[in-house]
Structure 1
Amino acid sequence: MKRRPLGGTGLEVSELGFGASPLGRLPRGGERRGIEAVHTALELGITFFDVSPYYGETVAETVLGKALRGVDRSAYVLATKVGRYSDTEFDFSAERVTRSVRESLDRLGTDHLDLVQCHDVEFGDLDQVVRETIPALRALQEDGVIGAVGVTGYPLPALAYVVERAPVDTIISYCHYTLQNRRLAAWRDRFARRGTAVINASPLAMGALTNRGAPSWHPAPAEILKCCAEAGALCGARGEELARVALQFAVSTGDFPTTLVGAADPEEVRRNVRWLSEPRDEELLREVEACLEPVRDVSWPNGRPENQNPGGEP
């Protein structure tokens, strides 16, 4: 597994990262498999683990903490988030995020976090994130509790608004560098000018870029899901997996320090790592891209209306 520097943070991360969100929705009796997935990731060279108290309302952090118990702390880079705690609870106040970091430390069984990120900032007051949340995290950084500070979200203008008004080490952008939507590539230099490293997440577009298709809750417009389903059917007819094409494309062409993929099963982890070592099927890739061309670079609203295009971003 290749490793790359995470911008100017001093951290080095694996090109494939472990998205721990699925650890928060394990079936009954599935905790053991989730822990095995984490151990498999470590064995295969994945060193970057990203989680949040929002995932399963603290369940994912708890399971990940159990999985990492006894593992050499220098063997992995651990990231979590603050500010979002449920589908309706968002609190970016200095007091709450400071307390949140302490709670995450306990659940994850560590005395420091390599990266702490403001989670889904488009659901909060962006100016509060700039003036209150990030300074509170920087104070924890000065205390040695946090290594780096980041923000995450869906609308790229909202992320840029924060990055251009406060010192931010990293961003996580999801569903914006995939076979269907590559808008993140055009924004990369804008973030880089501020010294902010870009982490790509959800290269499978939250399940839309799979043969199985998008889950029922997927927020994308129907036309996007229709084109993704057609691409999945095309791959299925060839005995191929759309997820393989999508993951290989994102990692091999994106040039991001790391790409986060969710997993909660050791076989999923092994499959993802194996796919990265296999050659791309360029002909199949072209045919999939033709299926997705009608919806190329189409996004959807997420978060507060005023955060979709703050400051009149182009």
Structure 2
Amino acid sequence: MNGDLPPTFVQGFHDEEAVRKMKYTPLGDTGLIVSQIGIGGAGFTNLYGKYNEDEVIATIHTALKSGINYIDTAPFYGNGSSEEILGKALKTVPREAYYIATKVARYVVTNPDKSVGVKFDYTAKSTLESVDQSLKLLGMNAVDIIQIHDIGFSENLDIVLNECLPTLEEVVKKGKARFIGVTDYSLSTLKECIQRSKVKISSILNYARFTLTDDALSEYLEFFKKRNVGVINGAVHQMGMLTNFGPQPWHPAHEKTKQICKQAGDYCKTHGVELGQLALYHALTKQPGPAVHLIGLNNRNILKFNLDIVHNSLSDKHLEILKDINQKFLSKVEHRNWEGVEKEALRKGTALKY
């Protein structure tokens, strides 16, 4: 850190005042100093409704200039559209101004009814092809972190440990990535992978498990910290469920949980409060916490809402509403996670349709 400025600060590009307001934390032992919130690339796709590409690019630029320096994307996000949009947006951004991570192993398929489904491929051949395609779309020679997307969907971890991870080790040796990470919804699966891997894993990405309705990630933070593994928290807003807008139709959570969260969102609306801000505040203030929290951003209004929490915390009114929704609604949630739901659907051939 240069004073209060991170290594990614670029004079003439960044808004220095905004950067100084951002909190930065080391990501494990990678040497990467990451911003408190990061850009989640799934927001640049139809997974979360319609978006305008020009507005997305403007949002990316504004986010980076404001001091956000971590970007996460994947081939699965929009069948490559997230990576492609980022490639366009980042052409005019100094490469030293950000860290970027992408993934391998989870991909889009088109179902017979024309809906979008998912497939998983952890083989060496697919992994190498995926890395090269991602770099092409991003317009880069290398990413900072290359991650295996949702390792828990493998039949067992053997192919991840014995084929995919060693292949990514070769990718790093070739200079196409700096570090290796793994991602999954299941915390026990991430823990097992770290315990068994002979390949150095520098980061884990877990999603929707450090939120207002599910704090399970808290129980595993010490395990990852002791092993110098950087922790990335995705889906602070539980993939839209903890916002006033609510979740997409494909959301895998239990219907009763979605109904309760909708009641909380409706309560927030009637009081002129955005539930998403309360959810982000919870994630940022709960300590100890992950190094970076990923936020889905596809317009500057959403960015502004989130930066407001980073810079200014919550008003007394917002804190009172947060207390209310916890007591009136969220404390009644029984099904706090959906672990195994997507994998079981895939096994039965009834995988979620996006």
For normalisation by structure 2, the TM-score amounts to 0.82
Q: Does 285-294 or 242-251 show the bigger shift?
A: 285-294
**Structure 2 matches for 1:211-222, cutoff 5 A?**
211-222=244-255
Pair 4,127 (structure 1): closer, same or farther in 2 beyond 3 Å: same
Q: Say whether residues 1:184 and 2:224 are aligned partners.
A: no
- Separation (CA, whole Å) in 2 of partners of 1:64 and 1:296: 38
Structure 2 match to 1:175:
208
Deviation digits for residues 107-136 of structure 1 (CA, Å, limit 9, x no counterpart): 101111100100011222321111111111
Q: Aligned partner of 1:6: which letter?
A: L
> Which of structures 1 and 2 has the larger relative contact order (alpha carbons within 8 angstroms, sep 6+)?
1
Q: Aligned partner of 1:163: which letter?
A: I
Structure 2 match to 1:94:
124
Query: What is the CA-CA distance between 1:181 and the residue it aligns to?
Result: 0.5
Q: Structure 1 unaligned segments of length 5 or more: list them.
A: 308-314
State the secondary structure of the residue aligned to 2:71.
strand
- Percent sequence identity over aligned pairs: 35
Structure 1 match to 2:231:
198
- Separation (CA, whole Å) in 2 of partners of 1:82 and 1:217: 22
Deviation digits for residues 29-70 of structure 1 (CA, Å, limit 9, x no counterpart): 821111111111111111101000111101110110000003
Query: What is the CA-CA distance between 1:304 and the residue it aligns to?
Result: 5.3
- Separation (CA, whole Å) in 2 of partners of 1:138 and 1:15: 28
RMSD across aligned positions (CA): 2.0
Pair 271,91 (structure 1): closer, same or farther in 2 beyond 3 Å: same
**Structure 2 matches for 1:243-262, cutoff 5 A?**
243-254=276-287, 255-262=289-296
State the secondary structure of the residue aligned to 1:277.
helix
Contact kept? 2:257, 2:335, Cα under 8 Å: no
Q: Say whether residues 1:127 and 2:158 are aligned partners.
A: yes
State the secondary structure of the residue aligned to 1:148.
strand
Query: What is the CA-CA distance between 1:298 and the residue it aligns to?
Result: 1.6
Query: What is the CA-CA distance between 1:17 and the residue it aligns to?
Result: 0.2
Structure 1 match to 2:35:
14
Structure 1 match to 2:342:
302
2:303 to 266, 269, 274: 269
Pair 180,94 (structure 1): closer, same or farther in 2 beyond 3 Å: same
- Separation (CA, whole Å) in 2 of partners of 1:57 and 1:305: 21
- Separation (CA, whole Å) in 2 of partners of 1:222 and 1:119: 26
- Separation (CA, whole Å) in 2 of partners of 1:36 and 1:238: 30
Structure 1 match to 2:147:
117
**Structure 2 matches for 1:126-145, cutoff 5 A?**
126-145=157-176
Contact kept? 1:203, 1:259, Cα under 8 Å: yes
**Structure 2 matches for 1:214-233, cutoff 5 A?**
214-233=247-266
Structure 1 match to 2:320:
283
Pair 27,299 (structure 1): closer, same or farther in 2 beyond 3 Å: closer
For normalisation by structure 1, the TM-score amounts to 0.92
- Separation (CA, whole Å) in 2 of partners of 1:148 and 1:40: 27
Q: Does 218-227 or 191-200 show the bigger shift?
A: 191-200
Q: Say whether residues 1:103 and 2:133 are aligned partners.
A: yes
Q: Aligned partner of 1:231: which letter?
A: A
Structure 2 match to 1:292:
330
Pair 305,34 (structure 1): closer, same or farther in 2 beyond 3 Å: closer
Query: What is the CA-CA distance between 1:88 and the residue it aligns to?
Result: 2.7
- Separation (CA, whole Å) in 2 of partners of 1:108 and 1:224: 37
- Separation (CA, whole Å) in 2 of partners of 1:179 and 1:226: 15
Q: Structure 2 unaligned segments of length 5 or more: list them.
A: 1-21, 109-116, 348-354
Structure 1 match to 2:102:
80
Structure 2 match to 1:310:
none
Deviation digits for residues 60-86 of structure 1 (CA, Å, limit 9, x no counterpart): 101100000031111100100000111
Structure 1 match to 2:14:
none
